[in-house]
Structure 1
Amino acid sequence: MKRIVIDGRIIASSTGRYVERLIHYLEILDKENKYFILVPKKDLNLYPLKNPNFKYVACDIPNFSFKEQLDLIKVINNLNPDLVHFTMPQQPLLYNGKRVTTVHDLTILKTYNSDKNWIVFHIKQLVAKFLFKRIAKLNDFIITPSEFTKKDYIKFSKIDPKKVFVTYESAENLSKKEAVYKPLNNQKFILYVGQQSDYKNIKNLILAFDRYRKDNPESKVKLVLAGKINKATEKNLNFVNSSNLIFKEDIIFTNFVKDEELVWLYKNAICYAFPSFMEGFGLPGLEAMVYDLPVISSNQTCLPEVYQDAAIYFDPYDIKDIQNKIEEIISKKELRDKLIKNGNKLLKKYSWKKMAKETLEVYKKALDN
């Protein structure tokens, strides 16, 4: 029996879905090894464990902090692990045991979020550039969620390609329950779900939507931007409110929605729009496909690799192209039906259980290395 530590401090974040699904299926797949999952104290009861060989360990050490470099080593060493899986690149560089790290994407290295303090963000970015290169040497293996991210990371870090493994993520039903999102009942709408950092390109989606409505005055379609309102979202909200957009009243910022309401939004939208400049995998588009929602997507980075023929693509830098794809998906029912059919086929290629199984194989390689 080996002792494996999983750094799950991000379990309650947007990337936390990866951590939660990994743990869920490892509990099913691995009845041999003992697991210790580091999570913030507030998240100890977020996802109850069922396998007696799995245990949560409270760890309130912040990401990208000095404590992470010093105190986290003590927490890990006290658990006497044979292997540590860091589910994000941030980790104590002086830890000298066997380790595996998941690199989800390189957005922190290549983008700037204008809602952040410029000096603080760029200092963090310089630290991240050093960290991303250093972990290539310190880790036994690196895991990425797509071939694009694998190639991107190899190019940046100069790591031996044999040390990098791709484990595709997946999508499942968010909730068995469904609740009407009352403000949009009986409305037609385009849906986007998630964060609104600059690289998500929400501003161009907003401009393209307004142009679509201007050119199609008979349309009553709304644009729904679902997700918690934070500083990045407020920036887009202020842009809409202070702009001269003709159809600003039909751009809806929902704020936080419950999973049951999100299910209803997915089921009742006309299409899902994903205008991002950069992604490591693009999970929201797959989640839309789970609910038979056709997807229009940016043609950048990993998205064509992941969505294949289950989406139609646009240049996210070209507002006119985004507008054209909005018009095409709304006006052509046969296209929507085709994308739904292709999406159903595509979903069969992805599996969280398969991801966990492949991750377990990486663990075994690292332990035998």
Structure 2
Amino acid sequence: MEQMKKLVIDGQILQTDAWYRGMGKYLIELLKELNKRATRDSFEISIIFNKALNQDKDRFNILFAECPNIKQLHLELPVTHGRPSSPRIYKKKLEKLTAEHSGSDTYFLITALFFFDFFAEFPSNCKKLILIYDLIPFLFWRELGEFFPANFYMRRFETILEADHIFAISESTKKDLMKCLGLPEERITNINGGFSRFNGKTSRPAHLRLPNNYILFPTGNLPHKNNEAAVKGFEAYRQKYDSEAVLVVTSSFNKGSKERLSILSPNIIFTGHISDSELDWLYQHASVVLFASLHEGLGLPVLDAISYGKPIVASRVPVFEEMSLVAFYFFDPHKPQDLVKAIDDAVSRKGLSAKIKRYPAIMNKYTWNNTCLSFIDGLNHTKVNNRKRKSKKPYIALACVYPGIAGQIGRKAEVLYSSLSEDFRVDFYFDFGQFSPHDSERPTFIDYFNVNVLNISRLNRHTYKKYKCIIYLIDYSSIPSRLAQRASILPGIALINRAQTSTIDQQIFMDLAISNQLATYQTAEATCDLGNFIKEIGSLMQYKGKQ
């Protein structure tokens, strides 16, 4: 008889305002599909809620009606109250819960890592799963950093590295995880998502005076949504083609944001928060649906627009191209004038029949049933991550210019850490040069991890003896620096970014490396795959005789 699997799901996100938004809706749809398979696929599923968060009984009742096979557990758990680190009691309570199912194959799923009203951590006595929607704040830190306190946001990246298996909601998010964190592909499963047509009675939003001709713009009040460029492009379209269309903007916007956008175009209607039945009506009667984001984790509203058979104007970003290269009217999100043509083509239905013929294939791919099947497949192939389980790891040091200041070579310190930390204890030595961390484009999450972060001046002949190996990350900015000076007297392994280092500097450093028996590994470009470098570290260490 097949062993019963136990899946414990952290449901705290459903006790926040995200209940009404994309991430909350995503989780609910996934739960509904898991509910169907709870007994069929030998799963015992529980979802935990926090008694210290919103206790809206209507939500719990809705969830019970939709998911009767998922047991609801209400625990007294601490909340953040401004604390970035959880008290020990938080993990202890989770471990007590998972310990009750010892002898079974137990999994714990974190569903919302970057919500700061509550903690999101793993118990230690089970397999660790995490659902990642996107890394947008990390990728757009200049624009979004003010909304995401670094001591909370960056600190939680260590939880991603701790996970045994990671579920991404798109190939785009999966690639971001691999590129930014250096996670191996086999530890990530893309599960996509699905469309969610409203099944009840639709209702026209009574508080809105809507014309017959409007473009629906499902968006949010965050910089990466690219709202100003979208409104500029829309107004330019109106002026160029003498159009009477208005732009209907969903989601809630504060007074200042409304005023700024209304200056760019007076032909905007802000819906504010509306019900699902009202949103359904807006989709049904829209002439065109517009999506202008600079980046998205998935873009559920795009799938919804497809299900309504509407012409879709979409920014040319990876996640939308992932859905289809030809089904939408694409435009460059950085060029409002490019949007003008895309809107005109969509409104005039140019080539629409050929585009709509692509919709069924997209809808067949993006279903919640497929999402659930991919989730179960990833769960069944979960392998234990030894990063925190191995004891007595040898020490190595990684020396580079500070990742938040440096170009691509400095950022590779972040990428390398994921792989190196599985087999080594890693100390970091940063060369800040004439800068300080406050001058950085964004913080590095390494600053918030439980690792030693030291100034390059602390790396000397005495501390050198501690390490199995020193890895230097070198580019053009590193040659005339304390980092290069250390490499000249303390041999190790150098990863040299050939694309950002002049031929003369390369030769100078290579001559220096040869004279000091410094093993080198050159990269052809800044965005290269570091897999081969990781594989060769062992042989390079052996070459250096520091085994």
Query: TM bucket by the smaller chain?
Result: 0.7 to 0.9
- 2:288 corresponds in structure 1 to 271
Q: 1:89-104 alignment to 2 at 5 Å?
A: 89-90=113-114, 91-92=120-121, 95=124, 97-104=126-133
> 1:20 Cα shift?
0.4
In 2 relative to 1, CA 70–320 (structure 1 residues): closer, same or farther, beyond 3 Å? farther
What residue is the counterpart of 2:418 in the other structure?
Answer: none
Q: State yes or no: 1:227 paired with 2:248.
A: no
Counterparts in 2 of 1:71-220, with a 5 A limit?
A: 71-80=89-98, 82-90=106-114, 91-92=120-121, 95=124, 97-112=126-141, 118=146, 121=147, 124-125=149-150, 127-132=152-157, 134-182=158-206, 183-217=208-242, 219-220=243-244
Unaligned runs of 5+ in 2: 115-119, 386-547
In 2, distance between residues paired with 1:338 and 1:69? 57
What does the per-residue CA deviation read over 1:186-236, in whole Å, with 9 as the maximum and x for residues that have no partner? 52011112422110011111111111111122x21110001233x4xx343
**Would you say 1:308 and 2:325 are equivalent positions?**
yes
Matched, 1:257 2:274: yes
The equivalent of 1:47 in structure 2 is 63
TM-superposed CA distance for 1:152, in Å, is: 1.1
Report the counterpart of residue 74 of structure 2 in structure 1. Answer: 58
Aligned mates of 1:320, 1:178 — CA distance in 2: 35
Q: Determine helix, strand or coil for the equivalent of 1:196.
A: coil
Secondary structure at the residue paired with 1:5? strand
Q: Once the two structures are superposed, what CA deviation does each residue of 1:47-86 show, in whole Å capped at 9, x if it has no partner? A: 2246654212235755785475645423422322621011
Q: Write out per-residue CA displacement over residues 260-300 of structure 1, whole angstroms, 9 at most, x where no aligned residue.
A: 11111101111111000011111111101111111110112
Task: Compare relative contact order (CA 8 Å, sep 6+) and give the higher one, 1 or 2.
Answer: 1
1:281/1:322 CA distance change after superposition, 3 Å: same
User: Take 2:282 and 2:225, find their aligned partners in 1: how far apart are those partners?
Assistant: 20
Partner secondary structure for residue 15 of structure 1: helix
CA shift in 2, pair 1:21/1:317, >3 Å: same
User: Alpha carbons of 1:109 and 1:180: their partners in 2 closer, same or farther (altered >3 Å)?
Assistant: same
* Long gaps (5+) in structure 1: none
2:2 paired with 1:5:
no
Q: Which amino acid aligns with 1:213?
A: R
Does structure 2 retain, via aligned residues, the 8 Å contact 1:49–1:55?
no
Higher alpha-carbon deviation: 10-19 or 24-33? 10-19
Larger radius of gyration: 2
CA distance in 1, matches of 2:138, 2:87: 20
Q: Which residue is 2:303 aligned to?
A: 286
The alpha-carbon deviation at position 157 of structure 1 amounts to 1.1
Q: 2:361 is matched with which residue: 336, 340, 345?
A: 345
Output the CA distance in 2 between the equivalents of 1:117 and 1:143: 24
Q: How many residues align?
A: 355
Aligned partner of 1:222: which letter? V
Query: Hey, what's the Cα distance between the residues in 2 that align with 1:68 and 1:14?
Result: 26
What is the rounded CA distance, in whole Å, between the counterparts of 1:94 and 1:50 in structure 2? 28
Q: Superposition RMSD on alpha carbons, in Å?
A: 2.6
207-216 or 66-75, larger mean C-alpha shift: 66-75
Question: Paired residue for 2:381, among 362, 365, 369?
Answer: 365
Q: Of residues 20, 24, 32 in structure 1, which corresponds to 2:32?
A: 24
Q: Against the structure 1 CA distance between its residues 170 and 158, is the aligned structure 2 distance closer, same or farther, given a 3 Å change threshold?
A: same
Structure 1 CA distance, aligned partners of 2:232 and 2:154? 33
319-328 vs 72-81, which deviates more?
Answer: 72-81
- Given the two structures, how large is their TM-score scaled by the length of structure 2? 0.60
Distance 1:96 1:302 in 2: 35
Q: What does residue range 313-352 of structure 1 map to in structure 2 within 5 Å?
A: 313-331=330-348, 333-352=349-368
Partner of 2:258: 237
Q: Does 1:295 align with 2:319?
A: no
- Distance, in Å, in 2 between the alignment partners of 1:192 and 1:61 is 39
TM-score, length basis structure 1: 0.87
Output the CA distance in 2 between the equivalents of 1:277 and 1:210.
Answer: 19
CA distance in 1, matches of 2:67, 2:300: 27
Q: 1:335 deviation in Å?
A: 2.7
Q: How much has 1:135 moved relative to structure 2?
A: 2.9
Judged with a 3 Å threshold, the aligned counterparts in structure 2 of structure 1 residues 281 and 69 are, in CA distance, closer, same or farther, namely: farther
C-alpha change, 1:339 and 1:196, in structure 2 (3 Å) is farther
